[in-house]
Amino acid sequence: MGDRLRVAVIGGGLGGLAAGLALLRNGLDVTVYEQAEALGEIGAGVTVYPNSLRLLERAGLGPALAAVGATLGEGSEYYRMDGSLVGSIVTRDSSGWNGFYGMHRADLLNALAGAIPSEVVRTGHRFLSCEQDEHGARIVFANGEVATADVVVGADGIHSALREFVTESSPPVYSGSRAYRGLVSRDDVPDWRPNAHQVWMGDGKHFMVYPVRRGELLNYVAFVPTEVSTIESWSAVGNRDELVQSFSGGDPRVTNLLGKVQNCYWWGLYDRAPLKTWTNGRLILVGDAAHAMLPHLGQGANQGIEDGFALAAFLKGSRPENAPALLESFTAFRRARTDLIQAEARRNGLRFDSKYKSLDERDQEIRKTAEFRRWAYDYDVEQAANDAKAQLAGAAV
């Protein structure tokens, strides 16, 4: 076995490609395996916050992201459902950097894919099984191909196929809400604030809008209560009329925008307890495969990107025989942060859905969340991971 660590990444979505990019930057031998025949993402928005944007810019993606992202800033606000102002949404980190983009998920995926040599990504490879010993891991794919690696990274999402080889899954618990999502052309609502991330909070429901794709499109997400569980899929076609009816009588800005909606998608929101572990020997889970979280902080994709860059820092310059111990250290390092963010996303959903006896109390809490958000945005996971690894090396001397 050679000294250069060989890493197989299962999943070619945002988290998998970010991990692949970070691992390549740190000198590892990387292959990303994607089950689909071509890389692709659903037609929905994602918010890129400073905690992940600084990593992507450091990796050279700054110009590519600036070309397709929509800067979020002035006019970003929280409201009650009737349009009453609650407060401003944080759009700067503590240094004053406005590192916030609203992005179409496909645009972000394309930017990541464009930064990785094409031969690194192998499509048409659906993961089937994995076995491992002290010498490495052996991966079997549905197309009959077999691959070997020193480390196998499960970046294959909330329904991870690798997870069963790592740990027992936490059972999904239906949250009682479904989310509608879709895109509206900015030309259809010309008076809309151009760079604003806006959130309306109502009784058991909330509605948010932010621009994507250079501001040409508005991404909306509507969270509504339902007693009937909804499939946990981002591509299930939703009921447009039901969506519009759910917000009738609210702020005219919301009802007018919904009047422009032609079609939408929906997915059920399911909560999960933290997994017992993310790693088993040479196998490691990252992103939604490891710590799926409710979307009420917008940190899901951002935490997945953090995972990839932290993992690369831990594995950089390491020998294959040291991989299992490093994966344990990586897991402990990351869980200290992701468990907090996962729990805060759950609490923030209660705030957004007005689960309070006093809305004044809720509004005050919303304003106070600025402190938590700045803590999340100020973090440099790459630097923190390098520091943690250096401490481990010092302790071993």
Please tell me the predicted confidence (pLDDT) of residue 41: 82
Please tell me the predicted confidence (pLDDT) of residue 79: 97
- Euclidean distance between CA atoms 120 and 32, whole angstroms: 6
DSSP-derived letter for residue 355 is: -
Catalytic residues: 210
- Euclidean distance between CA atoms 259 and 265, whole angstroms: 16
Q: Assign domain 6-170+272-390 one CATH number from 3.40.630.180, 3.30.2320.50, 3.50.50.60, 3.40.50.300.
A: 3.50.50.60
- Euclidean distance between CA atoms 84 and 363, whole angstroms: 11
Domain limits, the chain: 6-170+272-390
- Euclidean distance between CA atoms 354 and 334, whole angstroms: 31
Mean pLDDT by 10 residues, the chain (397 residues): 84 98 97 96 90 98 98 97 96 97 97 97 98 96 98 95 94 85 96 97 95 97 84 76 93 97 89 92 97 94 98 96 96 97 94 90 95 97 97 77
Query: 360: helix, coil or strand?
Result: helix
Please tell me the predicted confidence (pLDDT) of residue 231: 65
Print burial letters for 73-86: b (CB count within 10 Å at least 16), e (below 16): eeebbbbbbeeeeb
Query: Residue 130's beta-bridge partner residues?
Result: 139
Residues 6+ apart with CB under 8 A from 347: none
User: Which tokens sit at 236?
Assistant: 């299930």
User: Which tokens sit at 306?
Assistant: 């953090």
User: Half-sphere exposure of residue 256, counting CA atoms within 13 Å on the CB side?
Assistant: 10
Please tell me the predicted confidence (pLDDT) of residue 357: 87
- Euclidean distance between CA atoms 132 and 130, whole angstroms: 7
- The H or E element that residue 320 is part of is none
